[in-house]
Structure 1
Amino acid sequence: MSGRTGRATWTRTGGALAVWAATRALLLLWVLRVIVPPGLDVTYDVSGLYQKWATVLSGGVFPEHDVTWQYPPGAALAVLAPKLLPFLPYATAFFVLALVCDALVTALLLYAAARPGRRFAGVWVWVVGVALLGPVVFARYDVMVTALSVAALLVGTRRARAFGALAALGAVVKVWPVLLLVGTPRGEGTRRSWTSAAVTGLVLLAGFGLLMPGSLSFLTAQRDRGTEVESLGALVFHFARHFGWDGRVAFHYGSMEFLGTGVPLVSALAQVLSVLALCWLVLWRVRARVWSEATFADAAFTALLLFTTTSRVISPQYMVWLLGLGAVCLLYRGGRMTLPVVLTVIASFVTWLEFPVYFGDVVGSTPFGIGLLVVRNGLLVAATVLACRALWRETVRAVPRGGSAESERMPGWATTDA
């Protein structure tokens, strides 16, 4: 690294750390209620639900009879983590640990961005995106799962087995990190990473099953859910309320959902869309011929966009996942996810407006609240379509170097972990 390049790197790093420190201090003051801006208090899940669950989990069982518990067994690790700081109140300890995980993601991205051939844009996606999303980042355990997923993607370009283990650990905590596996290039690397993920996941699930009853209750916990008011399908009912629809909004399964005529049908259609998204991913994987380091992250980001957008529930914390994977995508110069990631960052800001600032308008289906959801969900749909298009062009239609029809291997996958 030349002196000029080194100075530029330090300047960028210092600027990013300064912005990170300022914005995170503001978010921490927000969740600690030192600053009380307009909107809902986003900390109830921690001070209410998480703390209640921690009490039950400390007794060696899962809160399987609590309909708000809809998480895989590894979530217990995140919920119990604040007990590692017994000198702090539970909620305060949780916020501090969330801040630590946020700092870890930032450090991982900074380290990766300093490597030859990488871009600094990914660091800014995380630093700015989290700030725009607001205090919900520290008031949910999703930032912890995102830290695991970012670490998995960055390790995975060189260590297939370590990647598989980290992806499995993330999936046992909150399911969605299993999507990280979709982008592994075919061959020995995929066999090693998928085998490692399967073994790690089975061992963890078996361990929880033996030690704590009710560990698999999450598998059926959401079958009677309605359509959450922030989801894409919910727009049908937001508009329908202005034309005499007789349904209602209620706190149901831990979130505000639409209940009433037509809701089961829209919820079923959302699940059909998720199945179609899975079919597209399978087709893409069968047809893909060209892989690079960028493809590894791009495929995971695209898969996550597909399942987020088609979900019956698009909660604000889902954006944390997208910001983390999007940040990794923009580290690579050869990636094609710049526009979808930028749209995701913008959608994060609109998400902060709809929750917590104007959530009353969303629940009440006011024109302003509906407008916010149309913009946020429209941005996610656009990002999803553009990401699928870019991934297809990058891997299916692209011509590999030398004109060969064989897929390229990512550096390290064929030789590492031998």
Structure 2
Amino acid sequence: MTTQQAPSLVPAGSRAAAVPLLALCGAWAATRLGMTVLLVTDDVGIGGVSTEVYVLYARWYGLLLGGSFPPDDPTWQYPPGAGAVILAPALFPWLTYFQAFALLALLADAVVTVALARAGGAAGGGVWLWTGGLPLLLHIPLARYDVQVTALAVLGLLALNGRPRLGGALAGLGAAVKLWPLLTVLGTPRGRTTRLVWASAAAAATASVAALALGLARPFGFLWQQGGRGVQIESLGGSALALVRLLGGAGRVEYRYGAFEFTGPHVPLVARASLLLTAAAFLLLLLWRLRARRWSGATPFDAALCAVLLFTVTSRVISPQYLIWLLGLAAVCLTSRHTSQRPVALLLLPATALSTLAYPVLYQDVIDVTPLGSGVVLVRNGLLLAAAVLSARRLWSATV
């Protein structure tokens, strides 16, 4: 006599779908716990990542509460919208500034993870690139406000196809905080969609900056501080100057404008070359926009990653937190099966790991311009340069 097995109350398809979701939740929780532990046990000194929050950001917080953006502060180099992010920990008055800032970073990270999972599925490459790629930066993402900015860019990009006004508004808010999210509207399809997105971005950016300018004094002082930046030791130009130094050339490293920069006879030439390359990148993107004829749902994603990559590698500054932006944009690309940027996204993973090796692990070697420190930064920058060239080539081939 045989007995029949009772039918399961949960459909097989639902059980199968729950497996990657549970794996994703477990991976996110485990990695973020590890990042948090690293943050609270971080050592003070060179490479002390958390000091940025409880020393520099906390000082800015006090000034902003007093009604003014930081006056004559060479380390304040951000648009007025950054003030809102620095003030945001006030939402949790029962926590210390340090605790509230880290909590907000984790919440922004969780929002990005959920948005990517909804867009590409819990088993999709995009959400796993973000979930597994961000911890390669150790605890840096929790001690900088770039996760919050990246969240605005990611949410804006994901909204472009269905809700263009919302996508543009989020890009505009992101631009008011750190400029680069405005590049996420570059790849919108011509016609009505572009008009809606660009108008919404301009309106949101203008309104947010105006509101902050009315409430706080000295909102545009960052323009003078940003213009004084030199060539940071971690930039592509910095790698060139490090090679000159290793080969016996002149030049030294000094702490200026909140970062370690090269000074010496070759620095002005390298700085001008970086600006010319940035202008060339802008012209290349403009030419692509004029020549592009084939649009897919992934084109705005691919164009955003390409644009930010080009401006990153030609910048006079390539801080490790810039990789947060690139990981977020690459993850958005991987939510679409039509993306042309899959190999670019894979190149970003070793570049992210090497960024962490350069800072904070070997940062003293980088400052001292040793062969080890300079070599790590050079390889990282080589990967970013290769990713930028490959990204532009694949975007062009897919659309022009």
TM-score, normalised to structure 1, is: 0.91
Q: Is the 8 A contact 1:130 1:137 kept in 2?
A: yes
Q: Is the 8 A contact 1:39 1:357 kept in 2?
A: no
1:51-62 matched pairs, under 5 angstroms:
51-62=58-69
**CA distance in 2: counterparts of 1:4 and 1:293, whole angstroms:** 31
- Pick aligned residue for 1:16 from 19, 24, 30: 24
SS of residue paired to 1:221: helix
Q: Is the 8 A contact 1:9 1:114 kept in 2?
A: no
- Supply the AA of the counterpart residue of 1:311: S
SS of residue paired to 2:254: strand
Q: CA deviation at 1:244?
A: 3.1
1:392 match: 396
- Supply the AA of the counterpart residue of 1:258: F
- Supply the AA of the counterpart residue of 2:31: T
1:31 match: 39
**CA distance in 1: counterparts of 2:71 and 2:280, whole angstroms:** 31
1:64-213 matched pairs, under 5 angstroms:
64-114=71-121, 120-213=124-217
SS of residue paired to 2:83: helix
- Would the alpha carbon gap of residues 310 and 5 (structure 1) be closer, same or farther in structure 2, given more than 3 Å must change? farther
Map Cα deviations across residues 96-155 of structure 1 (whole Å, 9 max, x no partner).
11111111111111111239xxx7000111011101121111110000000111110111
**CA distance in 2: counterparts of 1:44 and 1:14, whole angstroms:** 35
- Would the alpha carbon gap of residues 38 and 350 (structure 1) be closer, same or farther in structure 2, given more than 3 Å must change? farther
Could you tell me the percent identity over the aligned residues? 46
- Would the alpha carbon gap of residues 3 and 297 (structure 1) be closer, same or farther in structure 2, given more than 3 Å must change? farther
- Supply the AA of the counterpart residue of 2:173: L
SS of residue paired to 1:326: helix
- Pick aligned residue for 2:316 from 300, 312, 319: 312
**CA distance in 2: counterparts of 1:38 and 1:371, whole angstroms:** 23
Alignment root-mean-square deviation, CA: 1.7
1:279 match: 283
**CA distance in 1: counterparts of 2:157 and 2:129, whole angstroms:** 16
**CA distance in 1: counterparts of 2:339 and 2:219, whole angstroms:** 39
**CA distance in 2: counterparts of 1:312 and 1:280, whole angstroms:** 19
**CA distance in 2: counterparts of 1:291 and 1:158, whole angstroms:** 15
2:4 match: none
1:239 match: 243
- Supply the AA of the counterpart residue of 1:69: W
Q: CA deviation at 1:38?
A: 12
Map Cα deviations across residues 150-199 of structure 1 (whole Å, 9 max, x no partner).
11011111111111110000000110001011010101000011111112
Larger deviation: 196-205 or 6-15?
A: 6-15
**CA distance in 1: counterparts of 2:247 and 2:320, whole angstroms:** 28
Which protein has greater RCO, CA pairs closer than 8 Å, 6+ apart? 1
TM-score, normalised to structure 2, is: 0.94
- Would the alpha carbon gap of residues 20 and 36 (structure 1) be closer, same or farther in structure 2, given more than 3 Å must change? farther
- Would the alpha carbon gap of residues 61 and 375 (structure 1) be closer, same or farther in structure 2, given more than 3 Å must change? same
- Supply the AA of the counterpart residue of 1:321: W
- Would the alpha carbon gap of residues 37 and 353 (structure 1) be closer, same or farther in structure 2, given more than 3 Å must change? farther
**Structure 2 spans left out of the alignment, 5+ residues:** 1-9
Larger deviation: 93-102 or 219-228?
A: 219-228
Q: Is the 8 A contact 1:32 1:92 kept in 2?
A: no
